[in-house]
Every structure is written in C-alpha cells, then in structure tokens.
C-alpha cells in the first residue's frame, strides 16, 4: 500500500489552508519540518495532513496557537488521561460563553442606539449625539 505524499500546494488544497499558513505552522513547530524531495520541494505525509486538519479544526473552535500546541501534545500521548483535554475544552467553553455575553451586551447597546433614531438629518441625529458623549 502506497502512502500519499503531498506537496505544499496539494496539502493546501486538501486541507483548505494557504501554503504560507502551512509554512508558518511548520516554523512554529505545530507541524514537523517537512522532508524535501530531490528538487528541494517540501513533501508531507498523510499523518502531517491529519495533524494540519487537527490544527484547522482547533482554530475553528477558537483555540489559540498555544492551546493547540498543548492539545497536540496531549494527542501525541494517546495512553495518558484525557482530564487535561477536558479541562482545556471546558476553559475554552467558558471563554466562548464570556464572549457571547459580551456580544449580547453589545447587541443591546446597538439596539438602544438604533431606537434613539427618529429619522431626520445628521445635525439632529441622536445616535451621533450619543456616540459623541463621554460616559
């Protein structure tokens, strides 16, 4: 059975990731340094593709690059307890809930501003007036 080998361009297309991002993750150590073929082109394996997909999914869930580094470390030790993973995900969930609360407050303030508007001209605009006031 032949293992698939990807160039950086092929890996980029297979994972919907820009080539520059792949090289950046490699530079940060999130992806191992790619081997090179005789022509000097980077070559990636299916394992590295899967690792990149892991990184992409983690980013989509809002994890920072440092968090992803930790998650990858956990993933590399398959026999260890998953308590640390659970804690990391719970921490991320708390952060998401905090951002949701902040966004809901922002939504309410924008609705309040919009309700101040009665049409007319900018000179009499209560939104502009409200934004200009110091609180």
pLDDT digits (tens, 9 = 90+) for 41-99: 889 999 999 999 999 999 999 999 999 999 999 999 888 889 999 999 999 999 999 99
Q: Both 103 and 50 in a single domain?
A: no
- Reported confidence tier of residue 127, pLDDT bands at 50, 70, 90: confident
Mind giving me the DSSP string for 5-72?
EE-HHHHHHHHT--HHHHHHHHHHTSSPPPEE-TTS-EEEEHHHHHHHHHHHHHHHTT--HHHHHHHH
Q: Both 106 and 70 in a single domain?
A: no
| 17/95 Cα distance (integer angstroms) | 25
pTM of the model: 0.80
Q: Both 59 and 99 in a single domain?
A: no
Is residue 135 pLDDT above 70, yes or no? no
Q: Both 73 and 99 in a single domain?
A: no
| 74/68 Cα distance (integer angstroms) | 10
More confident residue, 66 or 127: 66
Q: Both 19 and 65 in a single domain?
A: yes
- Reported confidence tier of residue 112, pLDDT bands at 50, 70, 90: confident
Is residue 121 pLDDT above 80, yes or no? no
Q: Both 74 and 88 in a single domain?
A: no
Range of the domain at 28: 1-79
- Reported confidence tier of residue 118, pLDDT bands at 50, 70, 90: confident
More confident residue, 117 or 18: 18
The number of distinct structural domains making up the chain is 2
Backbone angles phi, psi at 109, to 5 degrees: -65, -40
């Amino acid at each position: 059975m032949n293992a698939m080998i990807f160039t950086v361009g092929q890996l980029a297309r297979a994972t919907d990731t820009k080539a520059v991002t792949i090289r950046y993750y490699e530079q940060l150590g999130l992806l191992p340094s790619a081997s090179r073929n005789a022509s000097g082109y980077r070559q990636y394996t299916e394992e590295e593709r899967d690792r990149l997909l892991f990184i992409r999914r983690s980013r989509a869930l809002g994890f920072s690059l440092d968090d992803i580094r930790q998650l990858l470390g956990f993933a590399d030790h398959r026999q260890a307890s998953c308590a640390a993973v659970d804690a990391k995900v719970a921490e991320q969930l708390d952060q998401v809930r905090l951002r949701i609360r902040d966004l809901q407050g922002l939504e309410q303030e924008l609705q309040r501003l919009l309700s101040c508007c009665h049409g007319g001209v900018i000179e009499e605009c209560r939104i502009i007036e409200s934004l200009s006031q110091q609180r």
